[in-house]
Amino acid sequence: MLTKRIIPCLDIKNGRTVKGVNFIDLRDAGDPVELAKQYAKLGADELVFLDISATLEGRKTMYDMVLKVAEQVDIPFTVGGGISSVEDVDDLLHCGADKVSINSSAFKRPELINELSKKFGSQCIIVAIDAKQVNGEWLVHLAGGTIPTKRNLFDWAKEAEQRGAGELLFTSMNNDGTKSGFANRALAKLSKEVNIPVIASGGAGNTQHFIDAFIYGKADATLAASVFHFGEIEILDLKRELEKQNINVRL
């Protein structure tokens, strides 16, 4: 049976790992390649690297990092952040990335999803959506959650699927950084409305939150950063707990 995935996310700035709390304060949690190797050993099912470098130089260090990760890590990984063209994706896949995640660039020019899925296959195209619940409605936000739009999360998710996204990464901005649990009601609705896998992100604080995201949020995978980076939750312990709740995991 297909298992539920646990995915540590590593935010990368100028080649170093950082984690934003509510997307603002940044704390350093080490070297990305070493962290990636460690996570692969400790039972992570996949990894996500999100490049938050603002400069071109910072971005270039990302390609070196991707090459090093591909060389040393034997589980799949996704690269996201600042990807806006077919050429960007071609370069990253050639460096050894398994999947790419696109966000604002896809929202601004949705045809990009069609172009990428046609050229590289849906299976390597993740559309990441940051959304915030405002007056009861889930609205898509861009640029790391800083720019609000009027687009409904579920509408955009369905469009992304139709255009060829192979997977969705949904971050609830209401939950991100709060450690109070995932946005399970929105997740469950999203999972029902699309027929591609959904990765839940934003809000992981304890083991129960992961259990709830799989059981109530119907997530196919959960993504978290700080709880893993600072050793608050060990991935193997988490998976053992999930198994006790009859959630299928790779152990």
Partner 1 sequence: MNIVIIDYGAGNIKSIQFAFKRLGLEAILSNKVETIKAADKIIFPGVGEASSAMKMLKKNKLDTLIPQLKQPVLGICLGMQLMCNHSEEGNTTGLGIFDVNVKRFSDTVKVPQMGWNTIFNLKTDLFKGIKEFEFMYLVHSYYAEKTNNCIASTQYDIDYASALQNSNFYGVQFHPEKSSMAGQQILKNFIEL
Q: Name the minimum Å distance from CB 225 to partner 1.
A: 20
Nearest to 72 by CA among 36, 110, 122: 36
Establish whether 11 is a catalytic residue: yes
d(C-alpha 166, C-alpha 137), whole Å: 25
State which residue, 119 or 185, has the beta carbon closest to partner 1: 119
Nearest to 126 by CA among 176, 164, 70: 164
Q: Name the minimum Å distance from CB 41 to partner 1.
A: 9
d(C-alpha 132, C-alpha 38), whole Å: 33
d(C-alpha 220, C-alpha 106), whole Å: 22
What are the two backbone dihedrals, phi and then psi, of residue 27, each rounded to the nearest 5 degrees?
-120, 145
Q: Name the minimum Å distance from CB 250 to partner 1.
A: 4
Q: Of 11, 88, 167, 176, which lies in the binding site for partner 1, with binding defined by CB under 8 A?
A: 167
Establish whether 130 is a catalytic residue: yes
By CB under 8 A, tell whether 124 contacts partner 1.
Answer: yes
Which residues in 22-61 contact partner 1 (CB under 8 A)? 40, 45-46
**Contact residues for partner 1, defined by CB under 8 A:** 1-5, 40, 45-46, 67, 70-72, 74-76, 93-98, 118-124, 166-167, 195-197, 220-221, 250
